Amino acid sequence: MDNQKIIDEVMGGGLRVLNRIADSPLVERLGLEDRAQRLVYEGAKRAAETAAKAAKRFGPKRSGDRARPSMKFDLSLSEEQQLMRDTLRRFADGVMQPAARDADDRCAPPHDFLEAFTGLGAMAMAVPEAMGGAAERVSAASQMLIAEDLARGDMGLAYAALSPLSFVNALVHWGDDHQRASLLPSFVEGESLAASVAVVEPQPLFDPSSLRTTATKRGSDYVLSGEKSMVALADRAEWFLVAAEIPKAGPRFFLVERDSAGVEVTEESAMGLQSAGLGRLRLDKVRVTRESVLGGETALKADGGAAYDDATNRARIAWGAMALGTSQALLDYVIPYCNDRMAFGEPISHRQAVAFMIADIGIELESMRMLVYRAVGRIDAGLKCQREAYLARTLCSEKAMQIGTDGVQLLGGAGFIKDHPMEIWYRQLRSIAVMDGNLLL
C-alpha cells in the first residue's frame, strides 16, 4: 500500500467516526453539539499530520526494523474518548439518575431506555468499519470508560445497556465471518436492541472456569443443559451468549436464540441490579448446531479455549469499571452532604471520624481505578492481563462493599431510607463480588 493511500484511509476513517458522533441527535439534546463540531474541525486540521505519521509507520520498513508494543502506561484520553465521556456523563446525570429509583422499583429499565442509549452511537463505535460499524480502531479502554461512566448514573441500568453491547463485543472479538455478517448489522443499525451474555450460575462461590452448564455432542450438534443466573434483559433478549462446558474440551460460548426449544426464562429477584430486568435462564436439552459455537471451527479446535479465558479477564475488568462509576457517584454525593449536614453547631465533616472515612473512600477509589486502568491498558497494548484483571477484581469486589457500607454510615439513618440513593448504591456495590461474568469489554 503506497503512502497516499494510507493517508486517504486514515483521514477518511477518522473523519467518518467524528462525524458519526457529531451527527448523533442525542449529542444535541445533551448540549454537546458545539464541542462535537469543534472536535470535527480540529480533527480535520490535524488529519494530514496524523496520516503522515501513519504512512511513516506503515510504509516500507528498513531491514532490521522491528515493531514493539508500547509499554507506556498512559492515562490520558484522546479527544474522541473525552467527547464520548462528556456525552455519557450527561446521559448518566440527565437520563439515568432520574430514572433509577422507578426502574429499581419496577425491576426493569424504562421502555425507551435502550433506544436512547443506542442513539449515543456506542454500538456502532464498538464495531470496526470493516464489519459495518463506525470504529477506526476498537479500544478496550473506550469500552471500559463507557461502563464506568454509565455506572455513575445507575449500575443496574448500566448493566442493561451494556448487555447487548457485550454481545456485540463478543461477536467482534471472537465471532466467525458468518456470525458477524448475520448478526452485527441489526445491532449496528438499531434493529436489534436486546441481547445478553449468560455466564454466571446459581451456585455458591461461582467460578467461571468451573461451569455446571454442559454442552454434549450429539451427532454434528450440541445439546445444552444447565441454568444461568442474574441475566440482564432476560424478559426481552432475542439472543443469549451462553457459556457451557464441552467435556474434555473446556468452556466455550454458544449463540442461543430465545425461541429455541428447551429455553425457559423466569423472573429473578435480587438484592441489587434490579433495574436491569434480571432473570434466570434454564436450558433443558437445548439443541444447537455446530455453527452456533462462537468462533465456529476455530473455537472448537484451534484456540483451545483462549477466547473464553480472554472473555473472563475482560468481564472482570468491566465489573471493576462498574464499581468505579458507582463508587465515584457515592463519593460525589457524601462530600456535599457531610459539608451541609450540621451537628452541634458545625458541619459533620469537621469531625475527624467523618473526614477520615471520606478520605479513605477517595483513596480506595483511586487504588481501584489504577488497577482497572492498568489491566485494560494491557489489553490495548496486546499484552496478557490475567494477573492484572484478577487483582482488579479482587480489590474492587472487596473495596466496593466497604465503600457502600461507609456511604450508609456517613448518612446515618438517611442512608437507610429511600429518600436518598445511598441504599441503592449499597445494594449495587455488593453485587460486584458475585458477578464474575455476564459483561464483556
DSSP state of 159: H
From the list 363, 260, 370, 266, the residue with the least C-alpha distance to 317 is 370
- How far is it, in rounded angstroms, from Cα 393 to Cα 321? 10
Q: What whole-number distance in Å separates Cα of residue 209 and Cα of residue 345? A: 56
pLDDT at 226 (0 to 100): 97
pLDDT band at 54 (very low <50, low <70, confident <90, very high): very low
Rounded mean pLDDT of 22-35? 61
- Position 137 scores a pLDDT of 85
- Structure confidence at residue 36 as a pLDDT band (50, 70, 90): low
Least confident of 164-173, 300-309, 424-433: 300-309
Could you tell me the pLDDT band of residue 297, with boundaries at 50, 70 and 90?
Answer: confident
At 146, which amino acid appears? Answer: I
Average pLDDT over the chain reads: 87
Strands 346-347 and 342-343: antiparallel
What grid cell was written down for 247?
Answer: 467435556
What pLDDT is recorded for position 76?
75
pLDDT band, very low/low/confident/very high, at 3 (cuts 50, 70, 90)? very low
338: pLDDT confidence band, cut at 50, 70 and 90?
very high
- pLDDT number for residue 410: 97
What is the number of alpha carbons within 13 Å of residue 333 lying toward its C-beta?
25
Average pLDDT, integer, range 261-266: 97
CB atoms within 10 A of CB 103: 23
Give SS3 for 272: coil
Q: Are 330 and 421 in contact (CB under 8 A)?
A: no
Q: Provide the pLDDT for residue 65.
A: 46
197 neighbors 437 (Cβ within 8 angstroms): yes
Contact yes or no for 187/123 (Cβ under 8 A): yes
- All 3 cell numbers of residue 54? 501513519
Query: Contact, 375 vs 395, CB < 8 A?
Result: no
C-alpha cell at 409: 454510615
Task: State yes or no: pLDDT of 170 exceeds 60.
Answer: yes
Domains with residue ranges and CATH for the chain: 3-52+75-193 (1.10.540.10), 197-302 (2.40.110.10), 306-433 (1.20.140.10)
Q: Which residue has the higher pLDDT, 296 or 167?
A: 167
Q: What pLDDT, on the 0 to 100 scale, is given for residue 39?
A: 53
| Range in 38-52, 264-278, 336-350 the model is least confident about | 38-52
Which of the four pLDDT bands, split at 50, 70 and 90, describes residue 81?
A: confident
Going by C-alpha positions, the residue among 47, 40, 42 that lies closest to residue 7 is: 47
3-state DSSP call for residue 144?
helix
Contact 46, 91 (CB under 8 A): no
Tell me if 32 sits within 8 A of 87, measured CB to CB: yes
Nearest-5° Cα angle at 436, 291 to 94: 100
pTM: 0.85
Q: What is the DSSP letter of 267?
A: E
pLDDT of res. 66: 46
pLDDT for the residue numbered 42:
54
Q: Is the pLDDT of residue 43 over 70?
A: no
How far, in whole angstroms, is CA 109 from its chain's centroid?
A: 17
Average pLDDT over residues 175-192: 92
Task: Please return the burial class of 176, using the count of CB atoms within 10 Å of its CB with bins 0-12, 13-18 and 19+.
Answer: middle
Phi, psi torsion values for 196, nearest 5 degrees: -150, 155
Which H or E element spans position 430? helix 422-430
Q: Look at residue 69 and tell me whether its pLDDT is greater than 70.
A: no
Looking at residues 15-30, what average pLDDT do you find? 58
CA distance 306 to 368: 26
Among 161, 172, 169, 171, which Cα is nearest to 118's?
161
Output Rg (C-alpha) for the chain, integer angstroms: 23
Q: What is the pLDDT of residue 264?
A: 97
pLDDT at 296 over 90: no
